[in-house]
Structure 1
Amino acid sequence: MQDIEKTTISESELHRLATLALCGFGVAEAAAADAAKVLVLAEMMGITTHGASRVAQYGSRLRIGGIKPDAAIVATRVAPALATLDGDNGLGPAIGMAALTEAMDMARDAGIGAVFVRHSNHFGPIAPYALLAAEAGFASFIASNASTTIAPTGGAEAKLGNNPLGFGFPNPAGHPVILDMAMSVVARGKIRDAETAGQPIPEGWGTDADGRPTTDPTAALKGFLLPMGGYKGYGLSLCVDLMTGMLSNAAYLTHVKSWSSEPEAAQNLGHSFILIDTSRLMPAAELGERMEDFGTILHETQPSDPAVLVQLPGERELKRLRQARETGISLPTAVLANLRDLAAVTESFSPKENV
């Protein structure tokens, strides 16, 4: 496989370019900056399929009206620790950040805060939201539904999305624990990457359109993703859709519009953000001590392969994040060039000090 040329850029500069680029598609500055924060964190954490390259992908839908650039994102508290949020078909990561902020505010007041989101779009990966929550002292459960790519157990038609869920746990004495996972064996983006690289995919990643297992990424993209754990993955995906689509009064199952086949249509995705203020449960020092002991017990596990040590969920991503902040973000040169071109359009019309 041919090496991809890369260029190093700082976090602040990448955030500036991504914000400017999104503003160029008509997104308000504050919403663009929020969305850029999620995408830049994803890029630094090594979740590159949901990172900076998404700016142009979101932009293509903003241009044709699939995403509303001037959306009015409105949260409504229906109980002291419970809110709904209407994203007005806006930019997904901006809606996600608004929901995260609302959940944080309620959790500070009541100890726990739950926000159920409707009329949203693809909101990026969960890990950045879980990280931001953990850094502020909140444990979190965050989930979203998605367009259909997974067949129910025993079925030969896609009826469920590859619905992601994630958890985050703060650690006042060290690094938080973060789990971000979708229901399939791998994310669809990894199959797209294999297709772009002209490489086969491993067995067990997906099926063709007839439900037959395949190692051909092009065939897999036309077929179904395979859920992790068989019927157990199907059950989890179903429950995430009930939590995020059904309870949020958003679209669910086959009612969710496909980004790829109907890019001009509103998806009406649903998300849920549930946060717990851990300071209400125990002092930070005690939580830090317990979290460090928890991690030590697992890290001291005898590895089955001496070359591969036991790690906690999120350790690799957080290590990549720290490295990116120390040495810069290594971004594909073509992606960076595209971002600069998009940002230049905004800069030509707006003074830099206003962005």
Structure 2
Amino acid sequence: MTDAAEKVRLSLEEVRALAEAVLSRHGLSERHVKAVAETMVAGERDECASHGIYRLLVCAHTIKAGKVALDAEPVVHDIAPALVRVDAKGGYAQLPFQMGKPVLEEKARNCGIAAIGINNCVHFAALWPEVEALARDGFVAFAFTPSHAWVAPAGGTRPVFGTNPLAFGWPRPGPHPYVFDFATSAVARGEIELHRRAGKPIPLGWGIDAEGNPTTDAAAALEGAMLTFGGHKGSALATMIELIAGPLIGDMTSAESIAYDDNAKASPFGGELIIAIDPARFLGDKAAEHLARAEAVFENIVSQGARLPSQRRYEARERTRVHGVEVPAKLLADIKALLD
């Protein structure tokens, strides 16, 4: 434990037990409880606090608002040799992915490339768990999802996009694949919320207030609009994700999601697109040779002192596996209050 007044240390098993207890207390069915809790444990394990058990507050609010189906039974639809769709039936996205993943992988092995569209789901988590799971099975993977319209386009002042993350996974020898996952907004919305909770200012460039003025006030940015990273480049990527994980798979845009929310301030509702490529099918007996060439790229990066994306998360796993995680005491108290 660090300063006992500020932080509490929990083992990962304690994090899991707490997450499962809160989700069960709020009526989520057992299969969903297990799947959703694991994403929160993964967030804490990798020291990604904005995607850890803080999200229990988000889930509890979404459930109370009636914006997620507690006992949804996802349905897998095999629609083409290289395409699968999973209707989440209004539930959280984790279980539909678990159910669709084996079908997606089989199709990718058969065709070389395959895609899955997860429809009608509530999505609150990072995307790296999906692409990391696929990369560990030997696939090159991409994932995309819109969210709520919280983010203004470059040069604009009104929200149009969600945080619209994209993730990529690449299989590697050894224990960890190459993975990156980032929002096309300057920062994840959860980071701004954590700054608000802590009473800390946000950096300029994260958001604007309701009048379109730059702000360092987290609450003002949450009421105004977030900004894309990299100006027009992030804005263009956000547009792409709106299209390929919205209309392309027959699901909502970020503007439609927030309209559906109707000021409930619940988690986004819509779809997710995931693409898997099988290098072995794509390259045949040359696969090992070309994957080895990829390792030279990684070596050229790290040999000059640069850090690979996800390297920090993997290092965190080794620490938290042994020492557990530190959770702000106020946040932990708020979470435990959800059990009352």
TM-score by length of 2: 0.88
Counterpart in the other structure of 2:198: 197
CA distance in 1, matches of 2:181, 2:82: 24
Counterpart residue type for residue 191 of structure 1 = I
Tell whether the 8 Å contact from 2:151 to 2:163 is kept in structure 1 after alignment. yes
Query: Which of 290-299 and 81-90 deviates more?
Result: 290-299
Q: Any unmatched runs of 5+ in structure 2?
A: none
Alpha-carbon displacement from aligned partner over 1:48-70 (angstroms, at most 9, x marks no partner): 11112212321222233111101
Counterpart for residue 296 of structure 2: 293
Q: Which residue of 2 aligns with 1:305?
A: none
Q: How far apart are 1:320 and its partner, in Å? A: 1.0
1:173, 1:289 within 8 Å by CA — same for their partners in 2? no
Q: Does 1:66 align with 2:67?
A: yes
Structure 1 residues 198 and 334: alpha-carbon distance in aligned structure 2, compared to 1, 3 A threshold? closer
2:324 maps to 1:315: no
1-side partners of 2:71 and 2:180: how far apart? 32
For the 8 Å contact 2:152–2:225, the answer to whether it is kept is yes
- In the alignment, residue 308 of structure 2 is paired with which amino acid? L
Alignment of 1:279-290 (within 5 A): 279-280=280-281, 281=283, 286=289, 289-290=292-293
Q: Find the residue that maps to 2:90 and give its secondary structure.
A: coil
Structure 1 spans left out of the alignment, 5+ residues:
302-308, 346-355
Shift of 1:274: 0.8
Instruction: Name the aligned partner's letter for residue 296 of structure 1.
Output: E
Q: Identity over aligned residues, as a percent?
A: 31
Compute the displacement of 1:13 (Å): 4.1
Q: Deviations over 1:141-198 (max 9, x none)?
A: 0010010112223332211111000101111235311110101111122222222222
- The CA deviation at 1:140 is 0.7
CA distance in structure 1 between the partners assigned to 2:56 and 2:266 by the alignment: 18
- 2:240 counterpart residue number: 239
State how far apart, in whole Å, the 2-side matches of 1:28 and 1:94 are.
Answer: 11
- How many angstroms apart in 2 are the aligned matches of 1:327 and 1:279? 39
Kindly indicate whether residue 231 of structure 2 is the aligned counterpart of residue 213 of structure 1.
no
Tell me, what secondary structure is at the counterpart of 2:179?
Answer: strand
Matches within 5 A, 1:27-176: 27-176=28-177
- Mark the CA change 1:219 to 1:267 in structure 2 (over 3 Å): closer, same or farther: closer
Hey, what's the Cα distance between the residues in 2 that align with 1:13 and 1:101?
Answer: 30
Give how far 1:325 is off: 1.9
1:102 positional shift: 3.8
Q: What letter matches 2:7 in structure 1?
A: E
Aligned length: 335
Counterpart-to-counterpart distance in 2, 1:262 and 1:189 = 18
Question: How many Å separate the matches in 2 of 1:189 and 1:338?
Answer: 16
Cα separation, 1, equivalents of 2:87 and 2:46? 29
TM superposition score normalised by structure 1:
0.85
Structure-1 separation of matches of 2:31 and 2:335: 18
Identify if the C-alpha distance between structure 1 residues 203 and 169 changes in structure 2 by more than 3 Å, giving closer, same or farther: same
- Structure 1, 187-196 or 230-239: larger mean CA deviation: 187-196
CA distance in 2, matches of 1:37, 1:24: 17
Distance apart, 1:223 and its partner CA: 1.1
Spell out, residue by residue over 1:211-263, the C-alpha distance to the aligned partner (whole angstroms, 9 max, x if none): 11111222111111111111111111011010111112111142112698633
The Cα shift of 1:76 comes to 0.7
| 1:201 Cα offset (Å) | 1.5
> 1:226 maps to which residue?
227
> Deviations along 1:53-104, whole A, 9 cap, x unmatched?
2123212222331111011211211101101221111023333433444423
Distance 1:193 1:95 in 2: 28
The residue aligned with 2:321 is 325
Q: Contact 1:118–1:245 at 8 Å: present in 2 too? A: no
